[in-house]
Amino acid sequence: MRQVPVRRSPSSPADHRKEGHGRAANAARFGENGRVPHPIRFGYKVSAEQFGPRDLLDFSVAAERHGFDTAGISDHFQPWRHSGGHAPFSLSWLGAAGQATTRIRLGTSVLTPTFRYHPAVVAQAMGTLGCLFPGRIWLGVGTGESLNEAPLGIKWPDSKERFARLKEAVSLIQTLWTAERVSFDGAFYRTVNATIYDRPETPIPIYIAASGPAAARLAGRVADGLICTSGKGMALYAESLLPAVHEGARAAGRDPAELDLAIEMKVSYDTDLDRAREDTKHWAALALSAEEKTGVDDPIEMERLADALTAERAASRWIVSADPDDHVERIRPYLELGFRHLIFHAPGPDQHRFLDLYSRDVLPRLQRITA
């Protein structure tokens, strides 16, 4: 783990950002007083839509052995693909993972605390995990997807309501972690004299997932960190998300440096370039636009839409490379923008091969440029 900023290359894309956006991103990275309190951490994405719980446990133990700092599991009721798909329950899996590992930090990337879970139940579950594994648990939350909620008979609301629910859910979770006999009367959730009796002395960090400025501002105002995903164009991060985090933090009287900036890095690295490209087909659904996915809550239909994409489009969200130096240079701009918690998501079926190659070829290079 490192406490110092990443070294820039002379031709870094960060050097060409607009001045105003550069100031906002710089403030988010260094804070108002120039300090960088959050170390750089490299995490492993636990792909619960692709593998069963026992395999995911083995991968996470291997990730810890290979030097990864964190592991973040997705929380899905249904996978992106019906054929060969999986959807283990993230909260019970985290308990097993905490017991099977000793050092690596564990969390959700991300969970929706607003529909099939009541926020108070999420607060209870994460409180228990925090007691079992002090200082090792984090909670990533987002507004959710119909794929995971509509199958339970839940009417999928518009984005405005989903965002309002998330704001209220985060407020309730934080209150339950800090107070007793909580009576909460919100627009969506209610508690009467509720107490979470088992909660850790070490606070559990909350990360809010954002794909647009409203959620990023919310993260800046009330959360411990932001989490987003890579491969959507650098302008989104430099000109929208990071300035919004900065704006939200300032509005709440907070130093932006207090926030941990996390990003799921979509990476397909292999010494065999053809294999690296082929692996991205397993996650072609990520390349579907929001319009293409709207209203699709059936994994069979989602699979059909994804399989219809060209190989080039399936790979479009991923950093695909067989050259470790090239691979690191394509990650570098995210570090220069201020992301300090990179969670690497590999698409291929052989996760042990990925962990072996990435820890041998890529992580040491990343550690050198952040030293």
pLDDT tens-digit profile of 89-130? Answer: 999 999 999 999 999 999 999 999 999 999 999 999 999 999
Average pLDDT (64-71) is 98
Does 4 reside within a domain? Answer: no
Within-domain flag for 2: no
Q: What is the pLDDT of residue 371?
A: 84
The active-site residue, picked from 21, 38, 76, 246, is: 76
For residue 1 the two structure tokens come to 């783990």
- Residue 29: the pLDDT is 41
Least confident of 34-48, 124-138, 260-274: 34-48
Give the other-Cβ count within 10 Å of 112's Cβ: 24
In a domain? residue 93: yes
Mean pLDDT of the 259-265 span:
97
Examine the residue annotation and report whether 16 is marked as an active-site residue of this protein.
Answer: no
- Token couple for 350: 């052989």
Name the percent of the chain lying above pLDDT 70. Answer: 90
pLDDT of amino acid 294: 81
Residue 8 is assigned to a structural domain of this protein:
no
Cα–Cα–Cα angle for 36, 237, 271, rounded to 5 degrees: 90
Out of 49, 64, 145, 239, which one is annotated catalytic?
145
Q: What is d(CA 209, CA 112) in angstroms, rounded to the nearest whole number?
A: 10
274 CA to centre of own chain: 27
Average pLDDT over residues 28-57: 79
Residue 293: the pLDDT is: 87
Task: Indicate whether 3 belongs to any domain.
Answer: no
Whether residue 5 is contained in a domain is answered as no
Q: Phi first, then psi: give them for residue 203, nearest 5 degrees.
A: -60, 145
Average of pLDDT values for 117-144? 98
DSSP letter (8 states) at residue 262: E
For the ranges 37-51, 104-118, 324-338, which has the lowest average pLDDT? 37-51
Q: How far is CA 130 from CA 87, 88, 122, 194, 359, in A?
A: 23, 20, 12, 19, 28
pLDDT: which is higher, 150 or 29: 150
Phi-psi region of 231 (alpha: psi -120 to 50; beta: other; left: phi over 0): left
Catalytic site residue 76? yes
Give the mean pLDDT of 39-66. 97
DSSP bridge partners of 206: 139
Q: Of 17-21, 200-204, 260-264, which has the strongest mean pLDDT?
A: 260-264
Q: How many helices (H) and strands (E) does the chain have?
A: 16, 11
Q: Does residue 73 fall inside a structural domain?
A: yes
Cα separation, 352 vs 12, whole angstroms: 32
Q: Which distant-in-sequence residues (6+ apart) come within 8 Å of 254 by Cβ? A: 220, 221
How many domains does the chain divide into? 1
- For residue 238, give the nearest of 35, 24, 40 by alpha carbon: 24
Q: For position 141, which CATH number holds?
A: 3.20.20.30
Place of tokens 């052995």: 65
Range of the domain at 235: 13-369
Q: Is residue 7 part of a domain?
A: no
Dihedral sign computed on CA atoms, order 295, 298, 300, 306: positive
Q: Can you tell me the distance from the alpha carbon of 291 to that of 63, in angstroms, rounded to the nearest whole number?
A: 35
Is the pLDDT score of 217 beyond 50?
yes
Q: Which residues, other chains included, contact 315 with Cβ-Cβ below 8 Å and sequence gap of 6+?
A: 268, 277, 280, 287
